[in-house]
Structure 1
Amino acid sequence: MAKYDVDVLIIGSGPAGESAAMASAKAGKRVAVVEGRSTVGGNCAHKGTIPSKSLRHAVKQIIQFKTGNLFRETGETWRLTYPRVLAAANAVIPKQVELHTDFYVRNRVKLYSGFASFIDEHTVSIALLDGARDEVITADKIIIATGSRPYRPADIDFEHSRIYDSDTILEMAHSPRHIILYGAGVIGCEYASIFSGLGVKVDLINNRDRLLSFLDDEISDALSYHLRDNGVRVRHSETYEKIEANERGVTLYLESGKRITADALLWCNGRSGNTDKLNLQAIGLEPDHRGNLTVNEQYQTAVENVYAVGDVVGWPSLASASFDQGRALAAAILGKPYQEVAGVPTGIYTLPEISSIGKTERELTEAKVPYEVGRCLFKNTARGQISGEDVGMLKLLFHVDTGQLLGVHCFGAEAAEIVHIGQAIMSQPGEGNNINFFLNTTFNYPTMAEAYRLAALDGTNRTSRS
């Protein structure tokens, strides 16, 4: 008779939890998953990545249609409401749920819909959503993959109908004429693009001195320019003092003395790990002030048989990284070789989008690495001119002496797709990682991928003249 009900119990069915569950089940382990919603997919499928990127895609289609020559010839003028666009975007969620539910069925993973809390390091109580008596389940290994939620300061009334966070904004039932976005991180910049694309007046409040300072400076500058060009008012180095809302609008008071009034406010300044309902004190675990858990290189917490992956461990808080972390953790538990998740590309779905991997110019300069830059402006590519996606560029950073590709930075249409070509070359061992690959490879014409050859030519032409 088995000592435990299951070998692996996973709390959370988002990208990290799902990948850990599938990898463990395929290895022959008895696996169960607890999900706080009635359907699988976690915050990624229901409130985060999927709905927000689907919304962004719908807005991009609207922009393309409105700015196209064919549309202008018709002379039509109309404006789609935010709820209508949101409803169209949300149509993808049931498809995602159906797809991911099938994974659990095929791999015979037991699903519990409810909220888990620890009794001891091997035992969890599950408060089932259907109201039935709580289930108690024991497991040899327990994985916390509960994800994160928007951080909510106590002095802000998020119950007010004009104040939203990045979850509740996906339920907004009206179209604001003017919206304030407090927080200019990735989420804030993405929603600034979305709302400005819908014709909404946007104030983007940034508590730092530049947008997304982790990006290459040139890319950050390009984002700032295009947001402003699209009507977004970006306010740097500002911190809120208080927020007041009534039936007529919402007013943001800044410590600088400024007051900004709008129809709605979207708070998108940080996230918190979903650990407050897990009764972690029962096993002696204490999350940090943002609810995140500390883990070692094997994603193991201070409790030997309890692990954590995904957004609940903090950086990089990306769905792509969470998938890989879940698989790596399953391999570690099974005693198999695994590769630590590293070299994760940045994907930012602004309009235009941004993606990068590797070093920035600032990092290389500070490290005193001799490098050169190769650029290709999308307006100079045939595919960009044909598709009308002529905003942006591909930027390659490579070592002057060895030709080693050190960084890839892309701003513009399909940047999150284009970056993977550079990522593949950067991952090659030894001399396989070389800027000359792009010079010696035939690319389909016309394509956006051809930008690699043009950027490589631009960069190597500079070095040949030196």
Structure 2
Amino acid sequence: MTHVAIIGGGPGGYEAALVARRLGADVTLVEKTGIGGSTVLTDCVPSKTLIATSDFLTEVAGAAELGVQVPREIKADMAAVNARVTSLAEAQSGDIAQRLQDVGARLLDGSARVSGPGRVEVELTAGGTETIDADAILVATGAHPRVSPDAMPDGERILTWEQLYGLTTLPEHLVVVGSGVTGAEFASAYNGLGVRVTLVSSRDRVLPGEDEDAANLIEDVFRRRGMEVLGRSRMQSVVRDGDTVTVTLTDGRTVEGSHCLLALGSIPNTEGLGLEEAGVRLDDGGFVKVDKVSRTHARGIYAAGDCTGVLMLASVAAEQGRIAMSHLLGDAVHPLDLRKMSSNIFTSPEIATVGLSQKAIQEQGMLVDVASYPLASNARAKMQGIHDGFVKLFARRGVGTVVGGVIVGPRASELVHVLSLAVSSSLTADQVAGAFTVYPSLSGSVAEAARHLHTTL
């Protein structure tokens, strides 16, 4: 029987453990901060729980348009919100741990490092050490927030995204430094909670790596909802003086707030794991180099998740872990193909994408037809008071195969699955358009956009 040692209990690690047990391997999983890792305990699950509260308040704010009179101001109780966030994250962690135990995986609470071929040394949290001799090792240690020596978090007023859940009152003025996915999501969430928000972006627009039409729409929504967005503004330092935080920009301007959130990116948790000594290659940023089946350069060592830097999404981490175990244990393997991947940004409205982006299509010189359909034209959207959003599809010219798409709107994360199926199965726009949709429904906009791509022969 194959014995697999897994270092890290986030999505890459626990999904790998489930697959390995299903395929008959013995599994020992080592995690030092709690099963589920940062994804469940301090990152994805907590942030989306917070965003759920914010989204509810955003919907209530538009109640008058639907003929509902809200008798008084509705505000979030931050202590109660964050207590729910923490409780839900812990419950999710417990559920995953129970599932792993139910399938027979062995869980160790401690810190692990690779000490030789097929050998893992574990420093147990309860005291003592244990050596694991394994046939293969999976490294899934994740990443942690990047900070700057000129902007050190104190956990009270200057915060990373992992420290926000200790707040018991709403910030009076939150300055968010960084306009990537994390910065944009939290800026949107706190704006929805009624907090004054200033978003500091070093680029010319928020979400610079995303679809340009989607990013421009989100920035427009941010501004209409009262958020101050400072484009082309790079942080130089952040200092605290009592209850005031001052963010100084490189051009000399300053922004004062009650709190500052640092959303400066992530650093892989690969230091001190003995990886390079074991023959694992790291890039200049410390990320583990892997191929499309999650193999490192060291025989018998795989890696998955944020520590690889392939794409920092829980869904990608989970897929990397599953692929690694399938490859190791001789099951059918479908190498990771980011051209068919779907993802979502949980701003309000959400941005869901799948397949090739418009930028990637242009860079590859691929000839495509593009169709865009505004949600404001959709009957269900009108009923629900939805004004912002669209569906955009890309189909190969002359063939009609859907190669990518973007959906901006409420619950875009739920709507995008049909496009994910279309891209992964190489369906044509006509096939997407020909599938029945409910009337009225937001999903009808996906079919309508696909109909716009129909061409007669």
In the alignment, the residues of structure 1 paired with residue 428 and residue 161 of structure 2 have an alpha-carbon distance, to the nearest angstrom, of 41
Tell me, in whole angstroms, the C-alpha distance in 2 between the residues paired with 1:225 and 1:249.
28
Matched, 1:150 2:145: yes
In the alignment, the residues of structure 2 paired with residue 370 and residue 48 of structure 1 have an alpha-carbon distance, to the nearest angstrom, of 38
Find the counterpart in structure 1 of residue 439 from structure 2: 445
Q: Which residue of 175, 181, 186 maps to 1:180? A: 175
Match of 2:268 among 265, 273, 284: 273
> Residue by residue, what CA displacement relative to the aligned partner does 1:301-333 show, whole Å, maximum 9, x if unpaired?
232122211110002111111111111000111
CA contact under 8 A between 1:54 and 1:90: conserved in structure 2?
A: no
Q: Which of 6, 27, 47 matches 2:23? A: 27
How many correspondences in the alignment?
Answer: 454
Alignment counterpart, residue 243 of structure 2, candidates 229, 248, 263: 248
Distance 1:369 1:303 in 2: 37
Aligned-pair CA distance for 1:107: 1.3
Alpha-carbon distance change, 233 to 444 in structure 1, aligned in 2, over 3 angstroms: same
Partner of 1:92: 88
The CA deviation at 1:74 is: 4.1
| Counterpart mapping for 1:5-84 below 5 A | 7-37=3-33, 39-69=34-64, 73-84=69-80
**Separation in structure 2 between the aligned mates of residue 459 and residue 272 of structure 1, nearest angstrom:** 42
CA distance in 2, matches of 1:62, 1:247: 30
1:119-268 equivalences in 2 (<5 Å): 119-130=115-126, 132-159=127-154, 161-268=156-263
Range with bigger deviation, 78-87 or 241-250: 78-87
- Cα distance change on mapping 1:137 and 1:455 into 2, 3 Å: same
Residue identity in the other structure for 2:432? F
In 2: Cα distance, 1:361 partner to 1:322 partner: 24
Q: Do the aligned partners of 2:391 and 2:449 also contact (CA within 8 Å) in 1?
A: yes
Matches within 5 A, 1:451-466: 451-460=445-454
Whichever residue aligns with residue 149 of structure 2, its letter is A
Query: 2:382 aligns to what?
Result: 385
Q: Distance in 2 between matches of 1:398 and 1:301?
A: 35
Whether the aligned pair in 2 keeps the contact of 1:251 and 1:262 (CA below 8 Å) is yes
CA–CA distance in 1 between the matches of 2:350 and 2:184?
10
Alpha-carbon distance, 1:264 to partner = 0.8
Query: Could you tell me how far apart the structure 1 residues matched to 2:403 and 2:297 are?
Result: 36
Shift in alpha-carbon separation, 1:79–1:108, aligned structure 2, 3 A:
same
**1:102 maps to what in 2?**
98
Give the drift of 1:250: 1.0
Rounded Cα–Cα distance in structure 2 between residues aligned with 1:272 and 1:435: 40
Q: Structure 1 residues 230 and 140, CA, compared in 2 at 3 Å: closer, same or farther?
A: same
Note if contact 1:55-1:90 (Cα within 8 Å) is conserved in structure 2. no
Question: How far, CA to CA, are the matches of 1:63 and 1:202 in structure 2?
Answer: 15
SS at match of 1:60: helix
Q: Deviations over 1:266-291 (max 9, x none)?
A: 00111011122424354354644533
Q: 1:17 Cα deviation (Å)?
A: 0.4
Q: Quote how far apart the aligned CAs of 1:363 are.
A: 3.8
- In 2, the alpha carbon distance for the partners of 1:190 and 1:361 equals 22
**8 Å contact from structure 1 (residues 189, 350) kept in 2:** yes
Match of 2:318 in 1: 323
Q: Distance in 2 between matches of 1:302 and 1:404?
A: 36
Deviation sequence 1:341-375 (CA, Å, 0-9, x none): 22211211011000111233344345444433322
Tell me, in whole angstroms, the C-alpha distance in 2 between the residues paired with 1:366 and 1:29. Answer: 43
Output the aligned Cα RMSD: 2.2
Contact between 1:116 and 1:278, CA under 8 Å: does it hold in 2?
A: yes
Give the whole-Å Cα distance in 1 for the aligned partners of 2:157 and 2:349.
28
Provide the TM-score with structure 1 as the length reference. 0.91
CA 1:366 to 1:149, structure 2 compared with 1: closer, same or farther past 3 Å? closer
In 1: Cα distance, 2:367 partner to 2:237 partner: 48
Q: CA deviation at 1:443?
A: 1.1
The alpha carbon displacement at 1:449 in A equals 1.2
- Out of 351, 356, 359, which is 1:354 matched to? 351
> Structure 1 372/295 Cα, relative in aligned 2: closer, same or farther at 3 Å?
closer
Q: Specify whether residues 393 and 275 from structure 1 end up closer, same or farther in structure 2 by C-alpha distance, changes over 3 A only.
A: same
Q: Give a deviation string over 1:51-85, Cα, whole Å, max 9, x none.
A: 10111011111221233138962431242233332
1:312 maps onto 2:307 in alignment: yes
- 2:373 matches 1:376: yes
Alpha carbons of 1:89 and 1:66: their partners in 2 closer, same or farther (altered >3 Å)?
farther
Counterpart of 1:208, as a letter, is: R
Distance in 2 between the 1:288 and 1:367 partners?
Answer: 26
Could you give the per-residue CA deviations for residues 170-221 of structure 1, whole angstroms, max 9, x where no partner exists?
2223321111111111000000100111111111111222222332221111
Normalising by the residue count of structure 2, what TM-score does the alignment of the two structures yield? 0.93
State how far apart, in whole Å, the 1-side matches of 2:187 and 2:253 are: 20
Of residues 385-394 and 302-311 in structure 1, the stretch that sits farther from structure 2 once superposed is 385-394
SS in structure 2 at match of 1:203? strand
Look up the SS of the partner of 1:149 in the other structure.
strand
Checking the alignment, whether the CA contact within 8 Å between 1:178 and 1:202 is kept in structure 2 is yes
Supply the distance in 2 between the matched residues of 1:297 and 1:374 (Cα, whole angstroms): 32
Q: Which runs of 5+ in 2 are unaligned?
A: none
Conserved 8 A contact 2:294-2:321:
no
Q: Which amino acid aligns with 2:423?
A: M
Q: Distance in 2 between matches of 1:60 and 1:89?
A: 15
Distance 1:221 1:385 in 2: 22
Change (3 A) 1:279 1:90: same
**Does the CA contact (< 8 Å) of 2:63 and 2:70 recur in 1?**
no
String of CA shifts for 1:84-123, please: whole Å, max 9, x gaps: 3222333422331232122212211110011112322322
